[in-house]
Amino acid sequence: MAEPGVSGGGAVMGGPFAGAVPEGATVLTRGTVVIDVEACKGCDLCIGACPPEVLVMTTHERNARGYRFPVLLAGCTGCRACAQICPDFVFQVYKYETPVQIPSGR
C-alpha cells in the first residue's frame, strides 16, 4: 500500500521551511499533495509558487525520465498554488476538514 501523499514513487517528507522547525516538533498541516513524479519535468515553477515553502526539489533523485521532482514537507495548507502553476498537471491537492498535527520529521 502506498504512503499517503505518494504517487508514482514520490514521497511525503517532514520538516517545513527547510529546517525552521526543531527536531521532534510537530507541524499543523491543513492539506496534502499527491505528486505524480514520473510525469514531472522538473521545471521548478511549483517551488517558488508554494506560499508555505513546503515543496522542495530533489537534488540527487531523478524520475525514470531523468528529471528532478518536488517532494512535500510537513505544513501544506492545501492552497493549490502548485497545481495551478504546474504545466504538467502532476499535483492533486487535498485540503483537510480539520487541520492535523504531524511530526516534522527533522
When pLDDT is averaged across residues 43-65 and rounded to a whole number, the result is 97
Q: Percentage of the chain with pLDDT > 90?
A: 70
Contact 71, 12 (CB under 8 A): yes
Structural domain harbouring 19: 6-103
92 inside domain: yes
67 inside domain: yes
Residue 24: count other Cβ atoms within 10 Å of its Cβ.
9
| Spatial distance between the Cα atoms of 82 and 88, rounded to a whole number of angstroms | 11
| Spatial distance between the Cα atoms of 2 and 15, rounded to a whole number of angstroms | 20
Q: Which amino acid is it at 94?
A: Y
Output the domain CATH number for residue 10.
3.30.70.20
How many structural domains compose the chain? Answer: 1
Angle at 9 between CA 70 and CA 95, to 5 degrees: 60
Stated as kind and residue range, the H or E segment containing 84 is helix 81-85
Residue with cell 515553477: 45
23 inside domain: yes
Q: What is the pLDDT of residues 17-53, one digit of tens each?
A: 444 566 778 899 999 999 999 999 999 999 999 999 9
43 inside domain: yes
30 inside domain: yes
Task: Pull the grid cell for residue 89.
Answer: 498537471
User: What's the whole-model pTM score?
Assistant: 0.75
